Each structure stands twice: as C-alpha cells, then as structure tokens.
Chain A
C-alpha cells in the first residue's frame, strides 16, 4: 500500500512539475523576461540574456524533478524489495515511511567526510563529483510530451549513448584514485562489464532506428504512433516492443548490466571485493555514487519507454473500424490523461521491472557475466539486426500492410528465439562433453595480474 502511494505521489509530482518545462521554451515567458530586462541592459544583449535565463530555468527544473523522482525511487525500491523478501520495509519516518528519503539524505550529509591518506586527492575527489553529470545530462533529450523536451536534437539517441558512455571515466577515477586494490579491481570489473554490454545494447536498438528512420527522440516516438513526421518511411502506429520483442529483452538485460544493478552488480559484489570502486568513499561522496546509480536507472527506464513503449503516447489503440461512439470514447480517454503522466507511468513500470529483477535473481559470477554478453547477447543482437533489415526492406518493397508486417516480425522473432535455445542447448552439450567447467579462474587470473 505504502509503495503504491509513494509511486502515485512521485508520478503526480512529475506531472505537476513537468509542464513547467513547456513554459521554459514558451514565447510568453520569453516575452515577459524581455520586458523585465528592458532598459536595464543594452538593447543588443537582451535576447542572449533571455536565452541564458530560460536555459538555466529548464536545467534547474530537470535536475529538481529527476532528483525528487530519484528520492522516491529509493523508497519504492526498499518497500518493494521488502515485500518480495517478506518484510515490511521502511515505515517509521512519516506516514508509510514517506519522508524516509529525506532522513537518509540528512544522514549522508552529516557523516564524516573521509579522504584516505594514500589516495590521489584530486582524482579521488573529482571521481565522486564527475560521476553524477553524465547520468543527468542525458535527461536533456528525454521527451515527456509534444514540445516537452529540453532540446530535440537531430542526433538525440546518439547524444544519449555518447553521454552515457562517458560514465565509465569517473568509475576509473574512483577506482584508481582510492589506491585500494579492491577499488581498482571493482573499477576494472565495472568498466569491462559496461564496455561489453554497450555492444549488444546499441546493436539491439539499431533495429528500432532502422524501422523509425530517425535518431531524434521525438521522431522515434512519432514513428510508434498515429502522429507521424512528414517523410516517415516506417510502419505506422505500432509500439516497437511488438515488432522487436527480442531486441527489447536484449536491451533490458544489457541496460541492467550497464547500470550495474543486480543480477549484474559484480563491480560491487560485497562478498568478493567489499564495495568495489566506491569502497573508500563515505558520506556525501558515497551519496554521489548512489545518486548516479538511481539516475542511471531512471534514465535507462525512460530510454526503454521512448524506444519500445511508445514514449508519452497513450497505450490506447487507434481503431480504424468500429462504431463511432467507441472511437470518440477511446480518443476522449486518451486525451483525458496528459502525456507526461503516461510517460512517467511507463517509466515507473520499467523502474519496477528493474527492482523486480533485483529482488528475484541472484548475482552472476564474473565469468558467467562476460560469457553471457559475448556468446549470447552479441550474436543474438546481430541476428536480430539482419532479420530486421531484411524484413523492413521486403515490407517496404512489397508494400505489406501493418498486419502482415506484424505477423512477419512475430514469426521472425520466434525463429530467433528458437535458434538461440537450439544453439545454447548444443553448446551446453559440447561443454559437458569436453568437461569444461567454470571455476572463476578468469577473475583469479585478473586479480593476480593486477596485484602483481
């Protein structure tokens, strides 16, 4: 009950705060600001100043909203994991524990700020500071509705991936700057994992990009709904999760590894390497890593929503046939709820899926992790890419309608899954015949190398 309330509260907070974003680029706000500044600044400087103020406002709104969402995501996670483990979860601070995140924040801020004496002071401290920006800059291209986007870059998706890929540098800085072998080992594991899983993650999305024919985030959403951009050459009105189910699963798994959540939280496996690259961080500096983890989680969920779940569009099908009353009713239902609410609801659904995975699955071993990325996800995503390319080209040439296209993609994805299970079974039999067992030698060798 508490978890549901917290979720509703967060969704509501976002739905109320986010229209402010629209006010940011809005001409009315600009005109008001220009009027305010008139006579106080030289005439030529006013448009520039207005632009700067508007952009700072937008950035502030994004940071605040994502931060509030992050605070309550931690509470929801603790509540949900508690329920999964047959506990109650935090319920002492405020009604249903609703002010628990603020208590946690105060605790983090008042803890002693420790810097190890042997640490490289600059790299150690900069690592903790730089870990947050990449995880929050990506929200600049997350659209919450038509026009509700900080900047709809023509290379929006590429921007997201590029910024997200820089998040490994602070991890390196933390691991190396701490001058602690567990921290160094944790950083190396984290980077090896993130770099490996980036490949299937991006390859799985290339299929979606091929169907949509654009890299713009709003374009990707438009390609999944009745509102299509002029010049769109894809398939109308279908969420990409229906055309690309295998890609969605690959993306979900690779994203879980990307953001280092259980079952892929090997970089901070506490039974093996204490707390990985943030072993030596305390107080608010540890808080920064915690913050970045949740920002990454929300960003990955939002990206999944944009790419596969139709973004901010209502999950109500547009009926081409049927009685007029039904059409009007469905359209009214879709219009009654504002787009940011749909977007936040879908994003939270994805965040809950990440939490559910964490509550259900045990952690993988480091060698199993790499095997899974390179031997299963990469070949599968390449096969999916080939299938999508061929089907999209054939559908366009032969002029298939929506239903035939959908059926072809369903059959193709089924074949992919059958091929995957066939290959994995064969591979398991071969392994058994060769008596190959995984005894964690890979990680032991790595540890020896670093220590030596």
Chain B
C-alpha cells in the first residue's frame, strides 16, 4: 500500500520533471528539471531495494553529469541571459518519443521478467541465508526453496554450514555486484577502469602543460 503510494509520487515527480525538461524555455531551468527527474529515478531504485544503484545514480547523474551540463550552460555567451528559446522541431520530437514509448511498452508487456533468488526482496548488507536459517529471510517456510532449487538459482553461494551439511547464502547487493565485476565482467570492468584512469591522468597532464 505504502509502496504503491510512494511509487505513484516518485513516478509522478519523475514524469512531471521530464516534461519540464522539454517544455521549459530557459535552458538553465530545463537542466534543473533534469536534476529533479534524476532524483525521482533514484527514489524508484530505493523503492526497488537497490540502494547501491540509487546512491550511484545520485552520485553520477546528479553530482556529475547534471553539474557538467549546468557548467556548460554557464560557459555559453548567453549564460546570464533571460533569452527564451523555442523549438521548431517539436512535432518531430513528439513523434520520435511516441515511437520509442510504443517500443518500450511492447517490450514491457511481451517479456518474461526474472525474479530475484531472494523472492524479489533484495537482501541486506551482510547477505541472507536462504535455506539454513528460515527466520532471517522474512519468508514463510513454505515459500523457501528446497536445496535442489537453491542450487539452480543464480547468485546463490553454497558453503559448508557450521553444524555440518551445506547452507545457501544470498550475498548482499554490493557483494553480488563486486563478485560479478571480478568474475563474469572482469574484462569490461578493467577496460572501463583503465579508460577512466587515463582520463584522470590526461587531465593532470593537460594541467601540467
């Protein structure tokens, strides 16, 4: 119930802000609407239990990309101006947006969406024991998977239990992301790290010239 109300408020804020971005005639104000839209999306991530993604969304989209946009606006000759701009291509823009919306909606209703191993609830920081201790997950005993099912789920780690046998462990979101970076996505992760480091070193070198 509360989740639905919060979802409605956050989605509303995101959408109104997104309309504000394209409807406002002062470019600086449009950029500010974009910030609000990004914050609304971060709120939706929090609602979905993806705290790490929400924090990264705020850090990168609000703290870095929006700031870059605002900075670029300030460096334009008309930075102080109140000059209002109109767009003569709005018909084309609306058509493209409607086509994109149709495609996304079709995708949304046609696809089968996977459910997380923890039953849709993202586990907390330290991770959650899936089978060994039934209380920690907050799920009823009937909803818990059997050992064979747990082995087939993605992201579940099997480890020896303290009392003998084995227990199944769903790591916290940060652990899962870190594990994915260091195993399945090692090459892209290293490449992106290298590119970012090169950009940083490049900035220092340019500053030294």
For A162, the chain B residues whose CB sits under 8 A away are: 55-56, 58-59, 62-63
Residues of B within 8 A of A165 (CB): 58-59, 62-64
B32 touches A173 (CB 8 A): yes
A120 pairs with B82, CB closer than 8 A: yes
Interface of B is mostly: helix
User: Which residues of chain A have C-beta atoms less than 8 A from B35's C-beta?
Assistant: 169
- Nearest residue, chain A, Cβ from B125: A154
Known: A155-B52, A184-B80, A375-B208. A169 touches B125 (CB 8 A): no
* B198 CB, min distance to chain A CBs, angstroms: 12
With an 8 A cutoff between CB atoms, is B115 at the interface? Answer: no
Minimal beta-carbon separation of B195 from chain A (angstroms): 15
Docked pose: A374 CA to B201 CA in angstroms: 9
Q: Is A163 an interface residue (CB 8 A)?
A: yes
Q: Count A-B contacts at CB 8 Å.
A: 107
**B145 partner residues in chain A, CB cutoff 8 A:** none
* A155-B176 Cα distance, complex, nearest whole Å: 13
A450 at the interface (CB under 8 A from B): yes
**Which of B66, B75, B174, B207 contacts A154 (CB under 8 A)?**
B174
Pick from B63, B80, B126, B208: contact of A168, CB below 8 A.
B63
A449 within 8 A of B: yes
Q: A168 with B67: in contact, given A158-B52, A159-B55, A162-B55 (CB under 8 Å)? A: yes
B203 on interface, CB distance cutoff 8 Å: yes
Name the A residues within 8 Å of B200 (CB-CB): 199, 378, 382
Given A165-B64, A374-B203, A155:B174 Cβ within 8 A = yes
**Complexed CA–CA distance, A123 and B36 (Å):** 13
Q: Which residues of A contact B29 (CB under 8 A)?
A: 120, 122-123
Decide if A428 is an interface residue (CB 8 Å cutoff): no
Residue from B63, B70, B173 in contact with A172 in the complex, judged by beta carbons closer than 8 Å:
B70
Q: List the B side residues contacting A129 at CB < 8 Å.
A: none
Q: Return chain B residues, CB-CB under 8 Å to A216.
A: 125
A158 contact set on B, CB distance < 8 A: 52, 55-56, 59
- CB within 8 Å for A176 and B62 given contacts A168-B67, A191-B67: no
- Contacting A at CB under 8 A, from B31-53, are 32, 35, 51-52
Q: Is the Cβ of A370 less than 8 Å from the Cβ of B207? A: yes
Chain A residues closer than 8 Å to B1, beta-carbon distance: 48
Contact status A195-B208, CB under 8 Å: no
Do the beta carbons of A188 and B74 come within 8 Å of each other? yes
Q: Which of B55, B75, B82 has the most CB of A within 10 A?
A: B55
Could you list 14 further interchain pairs (A-B, Cβ under 8 angstroms) beyond the known A159-B51, A169-B32, A195-B67? A123-B32, A154-B51, A154-B173, A155-B51, A155-B52, A161-B59, A165-B63, A169-B66, A176-B79, A179-B82, A375-B204, A375-B207, A375-B208, A450-B74
